[in-house]
A = this chain, B = another copy of it.
Amino acid sequence: MKKGIELFKKNRIRITQQRLLVYRLLEGSRAHPTAEHIYARLKKENPSISLATVYTILELFRTKRLVREVRIKPDRRCFDPVIEPHHHFLCRACGAIFDIDLPPCLMAEKGEAQGHAIEEFQGYFYGVCKMCKARQGRAVRSQRRR
């Protein structure tokens, strides 16, 4: 409750109902939602909210570094309230995005790669998540029994 308000004040962001709603939804989710997801969810409780406003707010949060943009899906922008550097994993079977803890990375620590100055980085992994892997395993085994 207080969290959003204090964060906004610290970052000189005007406090509005819509911004609090968007920030609190993001903060309470580990799903890396898109603007559409957030809009659909908020509309249930707050039918007057506009999709364009959700986009505008997310862009504001991004430039103020309150959220991190995740472009692991080719045609959608996803958002993550965790701003500390970390990687992401996209499951090709279920479409879920998972945070991946950072391993020690020489280039990121040095802040340069082949002479170029690194300000930011994104690590994207693609594959099948452990849940889908397990599900596929069960399906194969039950197939064999027939």
A residues with CB within 8 A of B: 71, 74, 77, 87, 89, 91-92, 98, 100-101, 103, 105-107, 113-130, 133
State the number of copies, please.
2
* Interface SS of A by simple majority: strand
**Nearest chain B CB to A98 CB, angstrom units:** 6
Contacts of A106 in B (CB 8 A): 103
Q: A103-B105, A125-B120 are in contact. Are A89 and B113 (CB under 8 A)?
A: yes
Cβ A125 vs Cβ B116 within 8 A: yes
- In the bound assembly, the distance between CA atoms of A130 and B113 in angstroms comes to 10
- In the bound assembly, the distance between CA atoms of A123 and B95 in angstroms comes to 20
Cβ A98 vs Cβ B125 within 8 A: no
Question: Smallest CB-CB separation from A123: which chain B residue?
Answer: B123
**Nearest chain B CB to A70 CB, angstrom units:** 11
